[in-house]
């Protein structure tokens, strides 16, 4: 299965991808995770991306497209993948299309997880991640167990200010890829409000089980 998860920041893409990749046996490819790893490792790419990410801006297409297309070409992604956070501009969507056509493969679905803007800031500012297991928690909606609480970290771009900038980028630059995939007959809309389990059920149903 070749799937793209789209949605605003905090829609639950990372939370749901972690569950779905186990079910479908495909790798989770998150450009946000790849960029954060590059920042942490202090690579040239990470140094370039860091300031954009902290401010809630998009990292330039020229940087992200090469990184994502290379990752999709790796051995574990030949049987399928779940893309999370890529593409998020029209040029990225076109570049992905060209790379998949050149490889002679097609997408199965593009799933849009819909969550109203009014719910996003609370989801983002309450997010904490376990650096050991990578499990995503929320202080209120998905509280961490006491034994991991001390080691949880908060993302640098999970401030209210950066979150609002990311939402504006989503509506200005990422939302235009929705009609692009709708025209290809690939788009499936899923309500992202409700418990994470309820959202997983809707996603599985949208993907055909």
* Cα separations in angstroms, 8 against 12, 142, 166: 9, 19, 8
Please list the active-site residues.
13, 88, 127, 155, 166
Residue 52 in contact with ligand AP5, rule: CB under 6 A: yes
Beta bridge partners of 91: none
Window 3 to 32, contacts with ligand AP5 (CB under 6 A): 7, 9-15, 31-32
Among 26, 16, 32, 29, smallest CA distance to 170 is for 32
Q: How far apart are CA 151 and CA 130, in angstroms?
A: 7
* Dihedral pair phi/psi, residue 32, rounded to 5°: -60, -45
Instruction: Please state the closest distance from residue 159 (CB atom) to ligand AP5, in A.
Output: 12
Window 120 to 159, contacts with ligand AP5 (CB under 6 A): 123-124, 126-127, 136-138, 141-142, 157
Instruction: Please state the closest distance from residue 164 (CB atom) to ligand AP5, in A.
Output: 12
The sign one gets for the Cα dihedral 56, 132, 200, 106 is positive
Window 84 to 103, contacts with ligand AP5 (CB under 6 A): 85-86, 88, 92
Residues across the chain: 209
Q: Applying CB under 6 A, what is the total number of residues that bind ligand AP5? A: 37
Instruction: Please state the closest distance from residue 74 (CB atom) to ligand AP5, in A.
Output: 17
Which x/- pattern over 186-205 shows residues binding ligand AP5 (rule: CB under 6 A)?
Answer: --------xxx--x------
């Amino acid at each position: 299965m070749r799937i793209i998860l789209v949605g605003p920041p905090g829609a639950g893409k990372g939370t749901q991808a972690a569950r779905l990749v186990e079910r479908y046996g495909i790798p989770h490819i998150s450009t946000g995770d790849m960029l954060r790893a590059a920042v942490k490792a202090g690579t040239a790419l990470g140094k370039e991306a860091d300031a954009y990410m902290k401010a809630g801006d998009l990292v330039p297409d020229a940087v992200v497209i090469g990184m994502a297309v290379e990752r999709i070409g790796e051995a574990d992604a030949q049987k399928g993948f779940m893309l999370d956070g890529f593409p998020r501009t029209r040029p990225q969507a076109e570049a992905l299309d060209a790379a998949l056509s050149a490889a002679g493969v097609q997408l199965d679905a593009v799933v849009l997880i819909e969550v109203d803007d009014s719910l996003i800031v609370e989801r983002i500012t309450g997010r904490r991640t376990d650096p050991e297991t990578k499990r995503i928690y929320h202080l209120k909606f998905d509280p961490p167990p006491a034994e991991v609480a001390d080691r949880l970290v908060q993302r640098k771009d999970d401030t209210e200010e950066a979150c609002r900038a990311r939402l504006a980028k989503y509506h200005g630059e990422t939302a235009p890829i929705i009609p692009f995939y709708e025209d290809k007959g690939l788009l499936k809309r899923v309500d992202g409000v409700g418990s994470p389990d309820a959202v997983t059920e809707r996603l599985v149903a949208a993907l055909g089980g």
